[in-house]
Amino acid sequence: MIRVNSLSKKFNNLLAVDQVSFEVKQGEILGFLGPNGAGKTTTMKMLTCFIPPSSGTAEICGYSILDDPLQVRNQIGYLPESAPSYDEMLVGEFLKFIAEIRGYSGMELKRRVGIVIEKTSLSEVENQMIDTLSKGFRQRTCLAQALLHDPPVLILDEPTDGLDPNQKHEVRSLIKDMSEERTILISTHILEEVDAVCTSAMIIANGRVVGYGTPDELLSQSLYRNSVTVSLKNENPRKLLDDFNQLDFVYSVEHVQDDREDLVTMRLYPKNKESISRKLEEYLYKKNVQLEQFTVERGRLDEVFRQLTTED
Ligand SMILES: Nc1ncnc2c1ncn2[C@@H]1O[C@H](COP(=O)(O)OP(=O)(O)OP(=O)(O)O)[C@@H](O)[C@H]1O
Ligand SMILES: [Mg+2]
C-alpha cells in the first residue's frame, strides 16, 4: 500500500532525507521514530505530495507520487504536524468545507461530516471557532478532516501530540480500530505508543533509516532484554553478588538501589539475552530465599532508541 524507494530530500546543503526505503502493507501500522530534525515530517510531506523529492520515488496504492499526485492525494488522509487548519472557521464549517473540496455534497456530505464528528468526539465543539479550541480539540478537528473521505491510507504526523492521557488513549484506540482495512504511517516521540499501537517501527536519524522491525524485534536489541530483577529479604549483598555471578546462565549482575532496608535487589543479565527466568526460579527455590520481587524485562525501547540514534 505504501512503497518507498530510495527517497531523498535536499534543502540547500542539508540532506534532510537520505535514501529512505520501506514498505507498509494493508492492515499494518508503521511507527516512524527519530530525534527532532531526523526527517520524519519531510518524508511524510513527500509521500503526501506536499513537496517533491530530490531523488527516489514512492507509490501509494500503486500510484506514483511523481506521476499521479492527484490519485495519491485521493488515497491518503493526512494529519500534518501541529494540526494546521483555518482559525476563523467553526469546526463544523471547516469539516463541511473540506468535504466539499473532497467532492461531496448534499446528504452524502452531511453523512460523512456526521461520522467523523462522532468518531473523533467533536460534537460539543461543532459550533466553536477553531482559533478558540484547546490543543487537543484542534488536533482532533484536523484528524477528523483526514478521515472524511474514508481513505485507505493514513499518514499521521504526531497524532497524539499535546493530548491528555485519556485523549491519547482514545486516539490510539481509534487508530487501532481503523487499521484493519487501512494502512497507517504515524510518527511519534512517545515510545510506549509504538508498543501499544504499531505492528512495526522504523527509526531514522539524520535522514537515514537506522532501525526497523516489530516492536519486539527492536526490544530484543536492548541491553535489558530478558534481564531479571529480584529483591530478596535478609541477604548479604556481597555474598549474593558472588553467588549470582557463579551461575553459568548469567552474563553479569548489578546491585540495584534498594528502596527498603531489609531488601537486597539485584539485576541479572542473561548470557546471549536468553530467557533465564525458569532456571533462576529453580535456583532461588533450592537456595531457599525469601523472594519479594521477581521481574523479567522485555527490553527498553528508549535505550534502543538512544543506541541507534546516537551512534556515529
Ligand atoms: N523547508 C525547509 N527548508 C530547509 N530546511 C528544512 C525545511 N524543512 C525541513 N528542514 C530541515 O530538515 C530537517 C528534517 O526536518 P523534519 O521536520 O523532517 O524533522 P522531523 O524528524 O519531523 O523532526 P521533529 O521530530 O522535530 O518533528 C531539519 O534539519 C529541518 O530543519
Ligand atoms: Mg516532524
CB-count exposure of residue 149 (10 Å: 0-12, 13-18, 19+): buried
Confidence of residue 234 (pLDDT cuts 50, 70, 90): confident
Q: What is the mean pLDDT of residues 186-208?
A: 95
- Cα of 59 from ligand 1 centre, angstroms: 22
* Any ligand 1 atom below 6 A from CB of 27: no
- Cα of 188 from ligand 1 centre, angstroms: 15
Atom of ligand 1 nearest to the CA of 40: 21
> According to the model, what pLDDT value does residue 167 have?
86
- For 290, the grid coordinates are 525469601
Q: Which residue's CA is minimally distant from atom 29 of ligand 1?
A: 37
> According to the model, what pLDDT value does residue 70 have?
96
Top CATH class, 228-296: alpha beta
Confidence of residue 245 (pLDDT cuts 50, 70, 90): very high
- Cα of 206 from ligand 1 centre, angstroms: 10
CB-count exposure of residue 158 (10 Å: 0-12, 13-18, 19+): buried
Q: Give residue-wise pLDDT tens across range 54-71.
A: 999 999 999 999 999 999
Q: What is the mean pLDDT of residues 274-287?
A: 95
Can you tell me the distance from the alpha carbon of 114 to that of 199, in angstroms, rounded to the nearest whole number?
30
- Cα of 50 from ligand 2 centre, angstroms: 14
Q: Which residue's CA is minimally distant from atom 16 of ligand 1?
A: 39
Q: What is the mean pLDDT of residues 236-254?
A: 95
Give the mean pLDDT of the chain.
Answer: 95
Atom of ligand 1 nearest to the CA of 42: 18
pTM across the whole model: 0.92
Confidence of residue 74 (pLDDT cuts 50, 70, 90): very high
Q: How many Cβ atoms sit within 10 Å of the Cβ of residue 204?
A: 25
- 42 sits in which H/E element: helix 40-47
Among residues 161, 84, 199, 171, the alpha carbon closest in space to that of 130 is found at 84
- Cα of 41 from ligand 2 centre, angstroms: 4
- Cα of 96 from ligand 2 centre, angstroms: 28
Comparing 228 with 179, the larger pLDDT belongs to: 228
CATH architecture, range 2-214: 3-Layer(aba) Sandwich (3.40)
Can you tell me the distance from the alpha carbon of 279 to that of 283, in angstroms, rounded to the nearest whole number?
6
| pLDDT at residue 312 greater than cutoff 60 | no
Q: Which residue's CA is minimally distant from atom 25 of ligand 1?
A: 36
- For 121, the grid coordinates are 468526539
The alpha carbon of residue 240 and the mean position of all alpha carbons in its chain are separated, in whole angstroms, by 40
SS3 239: helix
Q: What is the mean pLDDT of residues 251-260?
A: 90
Q: For the chain, what are the domain ranges?
A: 2-214, 228-296
**Are the CB atoms for 190 and 160 separated by under 8 Å?**
yes
- 170 sits in which H/E element: helix 165-178
Q: Which residue's CA is minimally distant from atom 7 of ligand 1?
A: 11
* Any ligand 1 atom below 6 A from CB of 36: yes
Q: What is the mean pLDDT of residues 219-248?
A: 95
Q: What is the mean pLDDT of residues 121-126?
A: 96
| Choice among 139-148, 170-179, 287-296 with the minimum mean pLDDT | 170-179
3-state helix, strand, coil in the chain (%, to 5): 40, 30, 30
| pLDDT at residue 242 greater than cutoff 80 | yes
Q: Which residue's CA is minimally distant from atom 18 of ligand 1?
A: 39
* Any ligand 1 atom below 6 A from CB of 13: no
**What's the sign of the alpha-carbon dihedral 182, 100, 119, 140?**
positive
| Choice among 22-36, 107-121, 217-231, 258-272 with the minimum mean pLDDT | 258-272
> According to the model, what pLDDT value does residue 181 have?
86
